[in-house]
Structure 1
Amino acid sequence: MIHYQHGLPEHLRPQAVALYWHAFGGKLGTVMGPAPKALHFLTRVLRANHAIVALDDAGNLLGMAGFKTAAGSFAGGEIADIRHVYGSFGAAWRLPLLWMLSDDEQAHFLLDGICVAPAARGLGIGSALMTAIEAEARARGYASVRLDVIDSNWRAKALYQRLGYRVAKIQNLGMLRHAFGFRAAITMVKML
């Protein structure tokens, strides 16, 4: 049996950090790495109250979907967090790159990352988490959900399209593709 709940239980933070890095380390590794520093950063910044999680009967983390509000994002952190983990020099070159990926637009409810544990894929957890994100958006008074997916993640893009999300914009990274490991970010929106 799979259970869904709002909020990440604190004792699952290490599992959540590992799962998040497993899902997003490929695109963020050059900027947020090396892995031990990235894991330290994520442990420091993950906002437990900005996630919906999927748990099995034993309480193990099967998947999670983060979201962004005016109060912050699931995995964003602050400038002070980046300086604390990476030092002044490390923050100086990382901040402009991360800023280019950030978006403070609040017209839509923003998905801030979704990931499912490899052993739990194919069980409908991703779809159920997206349904929960949409319910959270409605409860907060939003008329739409927005997400970004990288061009090479065809599996996620196919899921979002099946769920009714439509491409709103494609942002080519140009030379930044070398820093992030993907060529374009695809913005998708679903009206609720």
Structure 2
Amino acid sequence: MLDIQFRPATPEDVSEAVPLIHSSGPAAFNYVFCCRSNDEARHFLREAFSLRSSEWSYINHCVVEYQGRCIGIGAVKEAGQNRRFMFAALRRIFAFYGLARAPGVILRGLRTERVIAPPVPGVGLIYDVAIAPEYRGRGIGRLLVEHLLKKVTSSGYGVAALDVADTNHGARELYESIGFRVSRSRKGGPRSAYGELVSHHYMEISLGNE
């Protein structure tokens, strides 16, 4: 096993962290945030990463560090943050895309929330989980999820949840091996010239902290 460390993300992680965040759901990110090119989603996430109020902010994320490099990322959010994250996203979308393109981004975002929903009260929602491709298959993803589960527990929640794409069979198998079980499935379908919203499974695990 590699000698990895977990630590809070910092603004200086942006160059390595943002591609990882994007890789946690590239088709969905591109569907929502790409209007003119395949690079727009990553550019948007890069700006959002530096903002404290954003759900994609460094403030919310945990980094897996190996030899001074960010090789993994993950985050936890809860229902009490939903309103703040929503208003922060609206401000950032209008600032980034302008009045002409922002409404389309917002509409696609609302469609996405029907499939990948915000957290509900009493649940810690794990999201943006990703490991750099060259370090996958070494058990680091499991350690990262277990670390995030500890964060959920320390926040006082008895249930943790996450969403996994129907096409991501490896991730679903990992989550099931940890103890997550599918609670419901939501059908995708919307697509754009740059991305697609595939069906997702909402998975939960009881942490015995209720």
| Fold match (TM-score > 0.5) | yes
**Stretches of 4+ aligned residues off by more than 6 angstroms:** none
Provide the rounded CA distance (Å) in 1 between the counterparts of 2:122 and 2:108: 24
Does the CA-based 8 Å contact 1:37-1:86 persist in structure 2?
no
Residue type of the partner of 2:22? Answer: W
Return the alpha-carbon distance in structure 2 between the equivalents of residues 87 and 104 of structure 1: 28
Distance verdict in 2 for CA 1:60–1:156, change over 3 Å: same
1:41-78, CA deviations, whole angstroms, 9 ceiling, x for partnerless residues?
A: 11122211211211012x101101112133469x9752
Give the structure-1-normalised TM-score.
0.88
The 10-residue stretch of structure 1 (39-48 or 143-152) with the greater mean CA deviation from structure 2: 39-48
- In structure 2, the residue matched to 1:35 is 38
Superposed displacement of residue 106, structure 1: 2.5
Q: Secondary structure at the match of 1:103?
A: coil
The answer (yes or no) to whether the contact 2:10–2:59 under 8 Å persists in 1 is: no
Structure 1 residue 11, shift from structure 2 partner: 1.2
The corresponding residue for 1:83 is: 94
Unaligned runs of 5+ in 1: none
Task: Name the count of aligned residue pairs.
Answer: 187
Give the deviation of 1:39 after TM superposition: 2.0
Deviations 1:137-184 (A, max 9, x none): 1110000111011111111111100110000000112x42x3452441
Query: Which amino acid letter does the alignment assign opposite residue 123 of structure 2?
Result: H
RMSD: 2.0
Q: 1: CA distance between counterparts of 2:33 and 2:197?
A: 15
SS in 2 for 1:35: coil
Structure-1 separation of matches of 2:32 and 2:197: 13
Cα contact 1:37–1:85 (8 A) shared by 2: no
Normalised to the residue count of structure 2, the TM-score between the two structures is 0.81
Helix, strand or coil at the partner of 2:39: helix
8 Å contact kept, 2:28–2:198: no
Structure 1 residue matching 2:25: 3-state secondary structure? helix
Tell me: higher relative CO, structure 1 or 2? Use CA pairs within 8 A at least 6 residues apart. Answer: 2
Correspondence 1:66-81 to 2 at 5 A: 66-69=75-78, 70-71=80-81, 77-81=88-92
Provide the rounded CA distance (Å) in 2 between the counterparts of 1:23 and 1:51. Answer: 13
The answer to whether structure 1 residue 48 and structure 2 residue 49 are counterparts is no
Query: In structure 2, what is the equivalent of residue 185 of structure 1?
Result: 200
Separation in structure 2 between the aligned mates of residue 88 and residue 49 of structure 1, nearest angstrom: 28
1:141 aligns with 2:160: no
Unpaired runs of 5+ residues, structure 2, are 50-56
Once the 2 structures are TM-superposed, how far is the Cα of residue 87 of structure 1 from its aligned partner? 1.5
C-alpha distance in 1, partners of 2:173/2:206?
Answer: 17
